[in-house]
Each structure stands twice: as structure tokens, then as C-alpha cells.
Amino acid sequence: MKGNIKIFLIALVIGLVVAYFVNYKFDVPTLSYALAPEATIFYVGAYNDADLASVKQNSYDNAVVYKDGDIYKVVIGIYCKDDIKDLMESYFLDQGIIFASSKIKVNNVLYKNMENYELLIKNSTKEYYVGLNNTLLNLFQEYIN
């Protein structure tokens, strides 16, 4: 019985060393993508043509065109926390804006920056939502470029 435990522990240590080596020495995009944090985008249109998306983008201040596969989405907001997502969803609906939402993967740097601005949104009044939302959209624009 003790022999089996020793063999199991040795195999476990070898597996951990190999996993560490593969994870940190090689850039495995699927692994980092799987562990990447998620954000929710609010978009007002999805188009197959970039020109149509640009026309729709001009209808909204600071909207961003985001290419998701073969689809161009006109993004009016991006949020990582559920409570801020709900708050901004209510704000956009009060403004009469009809939109859809979807989840995307983002890197840790963008996620941390978004958290900082979302804290400001949470602790501010509606007068500041537009400016803070525009800042989040600018961060997202830098991220996708």
C-alpha cells in the first residue's frame, strides 16, 4: 500500500512540474484565454459590414465598433461587475436606448482599469455616468486596437 502512495505522489509531482513548465515557459493562448476575466458589452447593432456599423456608430457619442468574428458590433458600454451592469442597463433604458448584451473575454489589465472606473460609477450620480462611460469606452478602444 505504501508503495502505491509513493508512486502516486511521484507521478503527481512530475505532473505539476510539467504543467508549470508548459504554462509559464510556453505561451499557450488557449490556456490564458480560458483563464481570462469576462466583461459584458452593451451594443446597439450587429452588422456584417463595417461601413454599416460606422453609420450606426455615428448615431451615438463615443460608441466603439468591435469586430467579433465576422460581425461588427456597435458598443455603447462595457462593464465587468454585475451590479454596475445592472445600474447602467437601467440608465440606458431610462435614456430610451434599446441594446443587446454579450460577454467577452478581456485581459487582466483592462479588467483592473474597468474595476476602478466602475467604483467611481457606483459612488457617483447620474450626471457623471456619461463621462465615466466614455472613459471605459476609450479604454476598450485602446484594448481592441
In this predicted structure, the answer to whether residue 56 has a pLDDT above a threshold of 80 is: yes
In this predicted structure, the answer to whether residue 73 has a pLDDT above a threshold of 90 is: yes
Could you report the per-residue pLDDT of 110-141, keeping only the tens digit for each?
A: 999 999 999 999 999 889 999 999 999 999 99
Q: What is the CATH number of domain 38-144?
A: 3.30.70.1070
Q: Which helix (H) or strand (E) holds 40?
A: strand 38-47
For the chain, which residues make up each domain, given as ranges?
2-31, 38-144
Query: Is 0.95 topped by the overall pTM?
Result: no
Could you report the per-residue pLDDT of 20-39, keeping only the tens digit for each?
A: 777 666 655 555 555 678 99
In this predicted structure, the answer to whether residue 93 has a pLDDT above a threshold of 90 is: yes
Contact 100, 76 (CB under 8 A): no
> What's residue 20's pLDDT?
76
**Sign of torsion, CA 69 73 79 81?**
negative
The CA R_g of the chain, rounded to the nearest whole Å, is 21
Which range has the worst mean pLDDT, 7-21, 60-74, 111-125? 7-21
